[in-house]
Amino acid sequence: MRQSTGTTAVLLAGLLFAAAPAVQFVSEASGPPPPGRSENAQAVEQRNRSAFALILGEFRTNLSDLIFIKTERYLDSGIAYAPHIDAAQLETSGDTGHEGHDHAGHDHGDHEGHDHGNEPAGSEHETTASLDKTVATAMMRETSAIKPGEAKIDDHDHGFVPTIIRTAGADFRGFIGHMEREVKPWRDPNMPHQHTAGTELLPWYRLGTYSDPHNVRMYVIGAWWLKTLKTEKQLHEALKFLGEGLKHNPGNFQILYMRGYILRELKRTEEAQVAFRTSATEGVKVRPANWDGKDGEVWNLHKQEQLESAMLMDVLFERDTRGTTAALELATGYTEKIPAPSAVHGIEDRLAEQVYGPLE
Amino acid sequence: MNVTVQASPVVASQSKVGLIFRAVLLETVRRRELHVLFLIMGMFLVGALVMRLIGVENAATATFLLNLGLSLAVLFAKIITLLTAVRQFPDELEQRTLYPLLAKPLSRGQYLLGKWAAAFATGVVTLVALLALAWLPVPKMESYSAGVFVQMLLLEIVSIGMVAALGILFSLLMPKLLGTVIVAVLVLLGGRLVAFAHSHTGQDAGGAAVRWVAGYLPDFSRLDLVLRYTDGLPPLGAVDLLARAFYAAAFIVFPLALSNWLLVRRPL
């Protein structure tokens, strides 16, 4: 009797347990949680610079911050420099970037007047440089040409950035400090940084997306690094990676933007234009109408640049396929949605000059 | 005239379970791992008080401290629960104290329930104490929802019940150390494994089937609202909350029922 009671209890409990996976569909129906304070780039920078963060070293509230520290270390040959991640550049990768971000003067690849000799506006070189700047930092662009296994000395002046492991002169630990400098990757902070190939970061980005499929920047930057390998196979891998990102983050304008970029590299221009147009449409939906130009939880300068770049690329493709008048009409529609000055306003003015003649 | 008063069967049953419960609690309080974890939490408390004295630089740092403290409290409470639950049966079997216990008028189900209740209560008390140590000293420089805090506490309590139930089940199936490691991996990485399975499945019927099966892996991240609390997000809807509580109940009731079934059939 006791045994049959136990069996009955297991069977009833088993029925309850069998229904447990239904909960994930309830959670999926309510959608992913809205972006919180922990994802605000300015908040990330502030906590990374705090004394507590320095004491704890690599300990962070989430895996994505940890992976970005790892990526920074990879680009610096494994050497741990003190946190110096700038808010605006945290969206992409760590860099000793400038403080603050002047939107009005920021270089979008300078569609308005950058000197490329006789290159026409919106040329392949100009737009590639512009697209690169909206996704990758200067360090990423420099290291993209380094092959795995190679190292390059960075001759740019990034200012003095101390290492986490102290120099001999500032280390009270004696032989223990000396051992740590010998055993762990370390370089005198007064010497130029040594960079290694960023493509070795790819497994970390893959890991980042496994642990958090809603981490959009991992998808975007991982796809960018795949693009730098410049083979058709890797471009298709990048498309597949972005496809997975879109599956978990439907309609995300940043992933769509990067997808347009990759399709453009593959010379699939029609699909690229569709991707840029969808990116622009979705980006406008997400962008707060009364955005004050400051980095916030929902919108920041990098996203603004990417949105403007997606609009710009759509206008340029429209010009190449349907002519200047159609492109001007599209550009005018976009400029009504974002404030001046922007690259889109610049291209609108140039297109207007071509259609109506120069302004007197 | 002698009058004999006999307790009702329900009360007698409850007192048997209560005896097991009390014995486990007393034993747990004396164990070193509990003292070590409280010591570590004490260090966090000291650090947070020092930061408060010096002055926290900005709201983001204060929120980070709060998140860190709450995460540590939740993790340590689960560790204590796991270590308490997973050693109950193997230790008693090894020390031969199980036989005299089961020789008494105590069913194996009552024995199991007592052990689970004690591990659960240990975890809950530890959780409440550590949450207080984590929450109180940190300055609140941003707004946080009291509703989310209550939901967080409730879901963490049921997740501790899950840890206790799984610990007991695995202790019956395999050696103590292996059971501890496996449950610890499930607690820490169960959510990641489920996310991994989701990211590699399509929207077709096959993909849905894989996602359903992956749902049988315990996903403790569903019951973790610490980040939601420190992110200042609003409370969960009633349906979502109840669904998560149901999820935890399924992972408590089934392992306990299965453990009872295994223990009844196990030759001692």
SS (H, E, C) B75-114: HHHHHHHHHHHHHHHHHHHHCCCHHHHHHCCCCHHHHHHH
- Cβ–Cβ of B60/A50 closer than 8 Å? yes
In sequence order, which residues have a C-beta less than 8 Å from that of residue A161 and are 6 or more positions away?
A81, A82, A84, A96, A189
In which band, very low, low, confident or very high, does the pLDDT at B70 lie, cut at 50, 70 and 90?
very high
- Rounded distance, CA A348 to CA A345, Å? 5
Q: Does B264 touch chain A (CB under 8 A)?
A: yes
Q: Does B195 touch chain A (CB under 8 A)?
A: yes
- Quick check: helix, strand or coil at residue A136? coil
In which band, very low, low, confident or very high, does the pLDDT at A93 lie, cut at 50, 70 and 90?
very low
Which residue matches tokens 């993790």? Answer: B75
At residue B12, the pLDDT reads: 55
At residue A84, the pLDDT reads: 54
Q: Which residue of A has its CA nearest to B266?
A: A3
- Cβ–Cβ of B214/A21 closer than 8 Å? yes
In which band, very low, low, confident or very high, does the pLDDT at A118 lie, cut at 50, 70 and 90?
very low
At residue A198, the pLDDT reads: 66
- Cβ–Cβ of B258/A13 closer than 8 Å? yes
In which band, very low, low, confident or very high, does the pLDDT at A360 lie, cut at 50, 70 and 90?
low
User: Rounded mean pLDDT of B63-92?
Assistant: 89
The residue among B99 and A349 whose pLDDT is bigger is A349
Cβ–Cβ under 8 Å, residues A163 and A187: yes
Report percent pLDDT > 90 for chain B: 34
Nearest CB neighbour to A6, from listed B216, B222, B264: B264
- For A272, the token pair is 């690229």
Most confident by average pLDDT, A73-77, A288-292, B72-76: B72-76
At residue A88, the pLDDT reads: 43
Asked if residue B107 has pLDDT above 90, the reply is: no
- Rounded distance, CA A354 to CA A195, Å? 45
- Rounded distance, CA A86 to CA B154, Å? 38
In sequence order, which residues have a C-beta less than 8 Å from that of residue A345 and are 6 or more positions away?
A335
Asked if residue A319 has pLDDT above 50, the reply is: yes
User: Rounded mean pLDDT of B148-157?
Assistant: 95
Report percent pLDDT > 90 for chain A: 19
Query: Between the CA atoms of A145, A148, A150 and A154, what dihedral angle is there, to the nearest 10 degrees?
Result: 50
DSSP H helices in chain A? 2-18, 22-29, 41-49, 51-56, 63-75, 87-90, 124-135, 138-143, 175-183, 202-211, 216-228, 232-248, 253-265, 269-286, 301-322, 324-335, 343-356
User: Rounded mean pLDDT of A256-275?
Assistant: 93
Asked if residue A114 has pLDDT above 60, the reply is: no
Nearest CB neighbour to B65, from listed A16, A27, A52: A52
Distances from the Cα of B171 to the Cα of A1, B257, B262, angstroms:
26, 14, 11
Element (H, E) at A152: strand A151-153
- For B244, the token pair is 């998560």
Phi and psi at residue B32, in whole multiples of 5°?
-70, -35
Q: How far is B215 from chain A (nearest CA, A)?
A: 4
Asked if residue A280 has pLDDT above 70, the reply is: yes
Asked if residue A58 has pLDDT above 70, the reply is: no
User: Rounded mean pLDDT of A277-293?
Assistant: 89
* pLDDT tens, residue by residue, A123-145: 555 666 667 667 666 666 666 66
The residue among A239 and B102 whose pLDDT is bigger is A239
Q: How far is B1 from chain A (nearest CA, A)?
A: 38
Q: Does B260 touch chain A (CB under 8 A)?
A: yes
Q: Does B172 touch chain A (CB under 8 A)?
A: no
- Rounded distance, CA A202 to CA A87, Å? 23
Asked if residue B261 has pLDDT above 70, the reply is: yes
Chain B (41-60) residues lying within 8 Å, Cβ to Cβ, of chain A = 47, 51, 54, 57-60
The residue among B86 and A48 whose pLDDT is bigger is B86
Element (H, E) at B25: helix B9-29
A210: alpha, beta or left? (left if phi > 0; alpha if psi -120 to 50): alpha
Single out the residue of B148, B171, B170, B151 nearest to residue B159, CA to CA. B151
Size of interface A-B (CB pairs under 8 A): 144
The residue among A80 and A309 whose pLDDT is bigger is A309
At residue B158, the pLDDT reads: 96
At residue A67, the pLDDT reads: 65
* pLDDT tens, residue by residue, B232-245: 889 998 988 999 99
What distance separates the 2 farthest-apart alpha carbons in chain B?
Answer: 79
Asked if residue A120 has pLDDT above 50, the reply is: no
Q: Which residue of B has its CA nearest to A245?
A: B199
- Rounded distance, CA B255 to CA B16, Å? 22
In which band, very low, low, confident or very high, does the pLDDT at B120 lie, cut at 50, 70 and 90?
very high
Q: Which residue of B has its CA nearest to A62?
A: B227
User: Rounded mean pLDDT of B139-167?
Assistant: 93
In which band, very low, low, confident or very high, does the pLDDT at A7 lie, cut at 50, 70 and 90?
confident
At residue B24, the pLDDT reads: 73
pTM: 0.65
In which band, very low, low, confident or very high, does the pLDDT at B94 lie, cut at 50, 70 and 90?
confident
Asked if residue A282 has pLDDT above 80, the reply is: yes
Mean pLDDT, chain B, whole residue set:
84
At residue A270, the pLDDT reads: 92
* pLDDT tens, residue by residue, A144-190: 666 666 677 776 666 677 787 888 888 888 888 888 888 887 888 88
Residue spans of beta strands (DSSP E) within chain B: none
Asked if residue A94 has pLDDT above 50, the reply is: no
Nearest CB neighbour to A47, from listed B64, B194, B227: B64
User: Rounded mean pLDDT of B86-111?
Assistant: 78
At residue A89, the pLDDT reads: 47
In which band, very low, low, confident or very high, does the pLDDT at B140 lie, cut at 50, 70 and 90?
confident
User: Rounded mean pLDDT of B5-13?
Assistant: 53
In sequence order, which residues have a C-beta less than 8 Å from that of residue A94 and are 6 or more positions away?
A68, A69, A71, A72, A75, A84, A85, A139
In which band, very low, low, confident or very high, does the pLDDT at B182 lie, cut at 50, 70 and 90?
very high
Q: Which residue of B has its CA nearest to A211?
A: B192
In which band, very low, low, confident or very high, does the pLDDT at B127 lie, cut at 50, 70 and 90?
very high
Which of A12, A39, A50 is the best residue to mutate to test the B interface, defined by the most B CB atoms within 10 Å of its own CB?
Answer: A50
Mean pLDDT, chain A, whole residue set:
75
- Rounded distance, CA B191 to CA B193, Å? 5
- Cβ–Cβ of B233/A34 closer than 8 Å? yes
* pLDDT tens, residue by residue, A201-240: 777 788 778 767 778 888 998 898 888 877 888 899 999 9
Single out the residue of A258, A294, A305, A248 nearest to residue A279, CA to CA. A258
Contacts within 8 Å (CB) and 24+ apart, B238-246: B239/A26, B240/A26, B240/A27, B240/A30, B241/B151, B241/B154, B241/B155, B243/A22, B243/A23, B243/A26, B243/A27, B244/A23, B244/A27, B244/B155, B245/B154, B245/B155, B245/B158, B246/A20, B246/A23
Which of B40, B44, B64 is the best residue to mutate to test the A interface, defined by the most A CB atoms within 10 Å of its own CB?
Answer: B64
Other C-beta atoms closer than 10 Å to the C-beta of B93 total: 16
Asked if residue B13 has pLDDT above 60, the reply is: no
- Cβ–Cβ of A23/B244 closer than 8 Å? yes
- Cβ–Cβ of B258/A10 closer than 8 Å? yes
Burial B172-184 (b: 16+ CB within 10 A, else e): beeebeebbebbb
